[in-house]
Amino acid sequence: MKWMALALLGVTSCATAAAPHKPVATSVSSPHASLADYHTFSFGLADQPKSGFEVTPRSLEVQRRLRPLVLAALEERGYSENDAKADFIVKLATGTGAVPAPGAERALPSSVARGFIGIDIYDAQAGTQVWQGSAFAEVDPEKIDDSLLKMGVSHMLSSFPARQAGGVAAAP
């Protein structure tokens, strides 16, 4: 999927310029997907985090906290969770990585903890990915910042179309 590879290049370059504790989020839709056909969703198994990030006990706890935030955000946009007959499948991904601190000597173990959260949406019938959102932020390795998670989800899903009675509305 060329469109996703290009989007991820933009995400990586933007993430390094983020202010501490402020998420950098982006999203991309498949140009071939018709999101107007979607009404219901369910959650699937987790995806792997992006390259440079790894699953840790901390990132598993982040994923647990992420699910209700994504559920609420999608419901606010007019979609309904339906495990029996979902139009799209939501897969979450979380990870933790270390990025060398600016100006740090290579020989010194000076690095900043970076967190990654991702939302991947797949068409339930075709199994193809139709939407992807990613957020990166500097994180405190000692505690999980729920307000930062909520902000990241909000930023990622800001471009995801909201449902209206007759179809999908443009993102606010």
pLDDT tens digit at each of 172 positions of the chain = 433 433 333 333 333 334 445 678 777 777 677 777 899 999 999 999 888 889 988 888 999 999 999 999 999 999 999 999 999 999 999 999 876 555 555 544 456 788 999 999 999 999 999 999 999 998 887 899 999 999 999 999 998 988 875 555 545 4
Residue at token pair 């369910």: 42
What is the pLDDT at residue 10? 36
Return the C-alpha torsion angle 106, 108, 112, 116, nearest 10: 60
SS (H, E, C) 115-126: EEEEEEEEECCC
Residue 39 pLDDT = 95
- The label of the residue with tokens 């601190």 reads 101
DSSP 37: G
Where are the alpha helices (H) located in the chain, listed in sequence order?
2-15, 57-76, 146-157
| N- to C-terminal Cα separation, the chain | 27
The 10s digit of each residue's pLDDT in 86-128 is 999 999 999 998 765 555 555 444 567 889 999 999 999 999 9
pLDDT exceeding 90 applies to what percent of the chain? 48
User: How confident is the model at residue 142, as a pLDDT?
Assistant: 82
Residue 100, strand partner residues = 111
Question: Mind listing the domains of the chain with CATH numbers?
Answer: 2-100+112-162 (3.30.160.670)
**121: which strand partners?**
90, 131
